[in-house]
Amino acid sequence: GKVLVSGANGFIASWVIRDLLEKGYSVRGTVRSTAKGQHLLDLYKKYGDKFELVIVEDITKEGAFDEAVKGVDAIEHTASPFHYKTEDPKDYIEPAVNGTIGILKSALKNAPTVKRVVVTSSVASFLNFQPGLQHLGESDWNTLSVKELEEKGWDCLGIHKYCASKTLAERAAWDFARENAVPWDTITVSPPFVFGYAIHEVDKPENLNESLSVLYKALVKGTTPEAELTQSGNNWIDVRDLAEAHTRALQKDDAAGHRFIVTAGPHLLQDFINIAHTLDPSPIPKEKFPPAIPEDKLPGPTITYDTTPAQDILGLTYRTKEETTRDFLTDIAKRGWY
């Protein structure tokens, strides 16, 4: 079958596409310009005409995906802003929400062949920002970020802007499926922090995508304050496992209708530093790393997620922090970015 992947040049999408191609699917990726697609044509050269690109200049425009969706069997919608650089809500909520609604509208209009739609959501759509231990699962929704945005507008906290964009976008996908006679199953796949390494185009460390940039600053640059390195409440997944989750979401009958949370578990950034110190051989000189901190001095997890559906239905297993740390640092060493 042929799968449409939006935001093809992104960190996650590049791995999603590679996984699909490896498993024999044909892929049509969308990017905003020809220039943004060239690297992908090189990256996937060995798959020949199984990979093609289409340009969707502005995903917020009515009918933007009308041509792109034609003839595909499934859609993996990943395009959405994930950075904290924007001043204007228009650059943020609109592409997330209207991009999601737009691709679904186009599919409903022009692609009766679509049997599955997988939307890359985020644990941002589940968080409740309550103090104390939290264990979140498929029935939880982040209502606070949306409320904060509605009440305070663009003066709300930065974290709520991103979280609201993801919550509203995910909600839009479920609402659309409920309110229209759609021929497809809807599935959302929600990761927390996605680590690993980049195969998409990144010319310099400053242009790393948001989540790899967090790891890079913590491990290699040493610019992350210790309070942040030891801050609890975060979870992670390796991008290769996340890509696998996206593919399996297309393949497993029982996946339909699920809001999969996919994560290898909780982490502190300090965990990755501690592990970096144990690597032998070390991909980059160990004096680059901030100091290790004994485990008994570190806080335990505060937020955990129910990953049973992802395990039972998608059969997902996860890479370890050791493997991800080694592969990340090996890639950084290859690029000479230390």
What does the binding site for ligand NDP look like in residue numbers (CB under 6 A)? 7, 9-13, 32, 36, 59, 78-82, 95, 120, 122, 166, 191, 193-194, 209-211
By beta-carbon proximity to ligand NDP, the closer residue of 137 and 183 is 137
* Cβ closest to ligand NDP, residue 208 vs residue 313: 208
CB of 280 to ligand NDP, least distance (A): 28
Instruction: Tell me if residue 240 falls in helix, strand or coil.
Output: helix
Are the CB atoms for 248 and 255 separated by under 8 Å?
A: yes
**Other beta carbons less than 10 A from residue 292's beta carbon:** 14
User: Of 204 and 297, which has the nearer Cβ to ligand NDP?
Assistant: 204
Which of 5, 108 has the CB closer to ligand NDP?
5
Angle at 80 between CA 246 and CA 67, to 5 degrees: 80
Helix, strand and coil content of the chain, in percent to the nearest 5, comes to: 45, 15, 40
Least distance between ligand NDP and beta carbon 113 (Å): 24
Q: How many CB atoms lie within 10 A of CB 158?
A: 9
How far is Cα 100 from Cα 79, in angstroms, rounded to an integer?
A: 8
Closer CB to ligand NDP, 110 or 122, in the complex: 122
Least distance in Å: CB of 281 to ligand NDP?
28
Burial of 244 (0-12, 13-18, 19+ CB in 10 A): buried
Nearer CB in complex with ligand NDP: 80/247: 80
Q: State how beta strands 193-195 and 234-238 pair.
A: parallel
- Please give the single-letter amino acid code of residue 132: G
In the complex, residue closest to ligand NDP by CB: 10
